[in-house]
């Protein structure tokens, strides 16, 4: 037989076998014959930190669902998923983490993330390619990068002011974040030329002042309520001397200098925290607890005392702000920041038990 004919037939035969192999593989993949089903714990083992492994048991169904959701969210926003996992490792608080999942899923409403959450108890979450770093448009923005750097530098000052005001630093920052986003997004040229390169917060200078966007009259009101035992905003005798003045000084001048000081921002953070504490007391006296409502507290911080009217069904509101192509308001930003897991190393969540002991 002609050797060329033999070689030709062999070549055709080899290509035919390759074609059959590809068809077989395609059929197997189409009908899921190549899927390797493993336990949720196995799929997440490499993702979890030692802290979480020490908290989470393998026999608790609700904990398994949380791990599955962490893995599912990691396919869309890996950094946010890691932050939620860290929060769970810190607190063991399933309710906190559940809310963090709910808030983080808002950005992905038109994806299959929610359906992945729904089937987490019984199915393996499919792998997809991450489309963002976080679950929040604002957290992916250059404005947040600047704020994040500044808040980390101010960590000790923020924590001290929050402690002195008697409020969570994460709640306190909710109002500050809204003010900073509003300024940065309204004056893009100043942000690009000055604030972004230097990684510093904006100090407002029209109508509202300083990094916290405080009106002088509002700061004066905050102080007056500290000493008015008949006011619904009164925090008690232990808080009356949280703000003092040097002898023979002019309080109005000193107060203004304090809230506009960009080198020592303690009083800016302190006044913001005291405002939130005072409206919490006001609402509590009316029968409503907003001490764990970052959306309401950030909204009221923007609207002021005059708009703080206790009611049973408060919602997020305040001035509209567009960040990274997404529309928010003050309340939205404060709410999402609180549950985002951002900056939790510097300003950690507190477990319910620890929180009850501190009150």
Distances (CA, A) of 134 to 81, 141, 177, 315: 8, 10, 17, 25
Q: What's the mean pLDDT in 31-41?
A: 42
The alpha carbons of the chain give a radius of gyration, in whole angstroms, of 27
Distances (CA, A) of 288 to 17, 95, 313, 335, 338: 74, 20, 9, 18, 20
Please give the mean pLDDT across all residues of the chain: 83
Whether the per-residue pLDDT at 160 is higher than 50: the answer is: yes
Whether the per-residue pLDDT at 49 is higher than 60: the answer is: no
User: What band does 29 get if pLDDT is binned at 50, 70 and 90?
Assistant: very low
Counting residues of the chain whose pLDDT is more than 90, the rounded percentage is 61
> What's 214's DSSP letter?
B
3-class secondary-structure state, position 162: helix
Picking from 53-62, 67-76, 160-169, which range would have the lowest pLDDT averaged per residue? 53-62
d(CA 197, CA 194): 6
Overall pTM surpassing 0.85 (yes/no): no
User: What band does 359 get if pLDDT is binned at 50, 70 and 90?
Assistant: very low
Whether the per-residue pLDDT at 50 is higher than 90: the answer is: no
Which of 152, 125, 110, 108 is CA-nearest to residue 66?
A: 125
Of how many residues is the chain composed? Answer: 359
More confident residue, 195 or 228: 228
d(CA 182, CA 193): 17
């Amino acid at each position: 037989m002609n050797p060329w004919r033999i070689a030709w037939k062999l070549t055709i035969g080899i290509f035919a076998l390759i074609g059959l192999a590809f068809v077989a593989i395609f059929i197997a993949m189409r009908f899921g014959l190549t899927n390797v089903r493993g336990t949720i714990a196995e799929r997440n083992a490499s993702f979890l930190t030692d802290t979480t492994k020490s908290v989470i048991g393998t026999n608790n169904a609700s904990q398994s669902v949380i791990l599955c959701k962490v893995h599912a969210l990691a396919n869309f926003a890996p950094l946010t998923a890691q932050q939620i996992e860290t929060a769970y490792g810190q607190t063991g608080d399933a309710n906190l983490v559940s809310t963090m999942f709910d808030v983080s899923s808002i950005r992905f409403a038109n994806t299959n993330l929610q359906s992945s959450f729904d089937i987490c108890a019984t199915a393996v979450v499919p792998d997809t390619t991450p489309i963002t770093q976080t679950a929040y448009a604002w957290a992916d923005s250059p404005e947040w990068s600047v704020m994040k750097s500044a808040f980390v530098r101010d960590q000790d000052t923020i924590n001290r002011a929050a402690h002195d005001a008697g409020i969570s630093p994460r709640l306190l920052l909710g109002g500050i974040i809204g003010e900073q986003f509003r300024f940065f997004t309204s004056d893009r040229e100043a942000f690009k030329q000055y604030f972004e390169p230097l990684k510093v917060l904006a100090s407002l200078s029209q109508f509202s002042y300083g990094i916290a966007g405080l009106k002088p009259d509002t700061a004066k009101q905050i102080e007056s309520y500290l000493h008015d035992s008949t006011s619904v905003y009164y925090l008690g005798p232990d808080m009356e001397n949280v703000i003092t003045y040097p002898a023979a000084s002019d309080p109005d001048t000193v107060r203004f200098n304090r809230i506009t000081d960009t080198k020592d921002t303690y009083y800016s953070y302190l006044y913001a925290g005291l405002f939130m504490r005072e409206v919490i007391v006001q609402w509590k006296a009316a029968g409503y607890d907003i001490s764990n409502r970052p959306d309401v507290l950030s909204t009221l911080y923007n609207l002021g005392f005059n708009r703080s009217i206790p009611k049973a069904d408060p919602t997020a509101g305040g001035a509209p702000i567009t960040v990274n192509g997404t529309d928010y308001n003050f309340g939205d930003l404060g709410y999402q920041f609180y549950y985002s897991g951002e900056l939790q190393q510097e300003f950690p969540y507190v477990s319910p038990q620890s929180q009850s002991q501190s009150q």
